[in-house]
Amino acid sequence: MTEKAMPAELAAIVECGYATWASDSVDPEVRARFDSERIPVAGVRKVRVWGVQVDDERELPGLERTQIPDEELWEVNLVALNGSKYEFDSTLLKPAPE
């Protein structure tokens, strides 16, 4: 598998050290745990989500062999207002304004 470089927008988050939500798709109760403008970033890591292969029709009726491919994503560790840390998919975030 080819190693993918860190996306430019994620590199910008790492460089400034703060993120904000890219859209309103994150649950408001979750968003309320974080600063509304500049969320501190504790770290970033690349994660590989292993795909699955199902060879048993009892698991997925009508599909004798189903394969879900591996997926690589970037995970960002954010610091909440109370100091707790939570991990989020980087696509949910963008660099925070200065």
Residues of the chain with pLDDT under 50: 1
What residues does each domain of the chain span? 8-95
Other beta carbons within 10 Å of 19: 27
pLDDT, one tens digit per residue, over 50-60 is: 777 656 556 55
Q: Is the pTM value of this prediction over 0.85?
A: no
Alpha-carbon torsion (98, 82, 73, 24), positive or negative: negative
28: exposed, middle or buried (C-beta count within 10 Å: 0-12, 13-18, 19+)? exposed
pLDDT, one tens digit per residue, over 33-47 is: 999 999 999 999 999
